[in-house]
Amino acid sequence: MSDEISELPTTYRYFGQQFQLWRQAAQVRRETVAEATSYSVDMVKSVEQGRRKVPARMAEIADEMFGAKGILLAGLSHLKRDKFPARAQDFMIYEERAIVMNWYESLLIPGLLQTEEYATALMRGWCPPLDEETVTERVAARMERQAVLTRTPPVALNFVIHEAALRARVGGPEVRHGQLLRLLEAGELWNVALHVLPYDRTVPAALSGSMVLLETAEHEHFVYFEGQSQSRLTSDPDEVSTQTQRYGMIRGQALDCAESARFIERMAGEG
């Protein structure tokens, strides 16, 4: 499955497949559907590929044309966008079950610590661009995830953030300033340990990208990586062990919590 297809909402793809199967079983051409519904052939194709949500009028006419007897129409109420990109959905499931998370970020603020303004700026800067509805929904989902910070029973959260992520002016100076203040607030939570890795303490292991080490209540251990357009969640013991060692090396070079808070305070004061 291509990265482009895997990012499409699951419900859109499922409905599109059903739409196509009913159309083919009824031996109706896309051109015929387009003409009857006053939509373009490309629109019909996009619906079948899950790239567009089916318009209600198209679904109503197609249901009758294909002899679906209301089955297609029944699917309309279930059409909704996925909260998260398909490539990250497995990780989100285990994040909800976590009792310990060790998170290292080299270029971005961890999602659990992002302000709404920072997250919005990231989403709006996505390439290729996301539509505004998707941006709004994904930002809301990211904010919902942050309940893990104050969840009961509490989750032990350890973050190491590279200085590069703190200096990136995502969304502009005001958004960055607000984000730095948010990090200071989060660092005051008793179950959150927040460390900064300055440029002059950077070790080679810190240059290989971000990672999240996660332990669930069932004592399952996972490591999660995320890149430009791919991500990976694995419980392979060798991989988890390797990344745990790397995380330990990175954290060992980072500032302690008090030093990190003072570091962030200085950056916030710089404007």
Q: How far apart are CA 160 and CA 260, in angstroms?
A: 10
Mean pLDDT score, 71-90: 65
Do 103 and 63 fall within a single domain? no
* Residue range of the domain that includes 46: 3-78
**Could you tell me if 62 and 19 are in contact, meaning their C-beta atoms sit under 8 angstroms apart?**
yes
CB atoms under 10 Å from CB of 226, counted, come to 20
pLDDT digits (tens, 9 = 90+) for 224-266: 998 776 788 889 999 999 999 999 999 999 999 999 999 999 9
Do 69 and 122 fall within a single domain? no
**Could you tell me if 194 and 257 are in contact, meaning their C-beta atoms sit under 8 angstroms apart?**
yes
Do 9 and 113 fall within a single domain? no
Residue 216 sits in a domain of what CATH number? 3.30.870
* Domain end (from 49, 78, 107): 78
pTM of this structure: 0.71
Do 108 and 198 fall within a single domain? yes
pLDDT digits (tens, 9 = 90+) for 164-205: 999 999 999 999 999 999 999 999 999 999 999 999 999 999
Do 93 and 208 fall within a single domain? yes
- pLDDT value of position 2: 36
Do 221 and 122 fall within a single domain? yes
Give 212's strand partners: 103, 224
Do 16 and 90 fall within a single domain? no
Q: How far apart are CA 17 and CA 23, in angstroms?
A: 10
Whether the pLDDT of residue 9 is over 90: the answer is no
Per-residue pLDDT band at 3 (split at 50, 70, 90): very low
Question: Is residue 213 exposed (0-12), middle (13-18) or buried (19+ Cβ within 10 Å)?
Answer: buried
Nearby residues of 250 by Cβ (< 8 Å), 6 or more positions away: 104, 160, 197, 203, 205, 206
**In degrees rounded to 5, what are phi and psi of residue 87?**
-70, -15
Q: Is 225 helix (H, G, I), strand (E, B) or coil?
A: strand
Mean pLDDT score, 203-213: 95
Tokens for 242, please give them.
């390797």
* Domain end (from 50, 78, 106): 78
Q: How far apart are CA 106 and CA 211, in angstroms?
A: 9
In the chain, how many domains are there? 2
Do 53 and 99 fall within a single domain? no
pLDDT digits (tens, 9 = 90+) for 11-25: 778 888 888 998 999
Residue 33 sits in a domain of what CATH number? 1.10.260.40
* Domain end (from 78, 110, 145): 78
Q: How far apart are CA 176 and CA 168, in angstroms?
A: 8
Q: Number of H helices and number of E strands within the chain?
A: 13, 6
pLDDT digits (tens, 9 = 90+) for 104-162: 999 999 999 999 999 999 999 988 888 888 899 889 989 999 999 999 999 999 999 99
- pLDDT value of position 175: 97
Question: Is residue 210 exposed (0-12), middle (13-18) or buried (19+ Cβ within 10 Å)?
Answer: buried
Do 182 and 237 fall within a single domain? yes
Q: How far apart are CA 34 and CA 208, in angstroms?
A: 49
Do 105 and 30 fall within a single domain? no
CB atoms under 10 Å from CB of 15, counted, come to 22
Whether the pLDDT of residue 1 is over 60: the answer is no
CA-based radius of gyration for the chain: 23
Do 31 and 66 fall within a single domain? yes
Do 110 and 39 fall within a single domain? no
The beta-strand segments (E) located in the chain are 98-105, 156-162, 192-197, 211-216, 221-226, 231-234
Question: Is residue 66 exposed (0-12), middle (13-18) or buried (19+ Cβ within 10 Å)?
Answer: buried
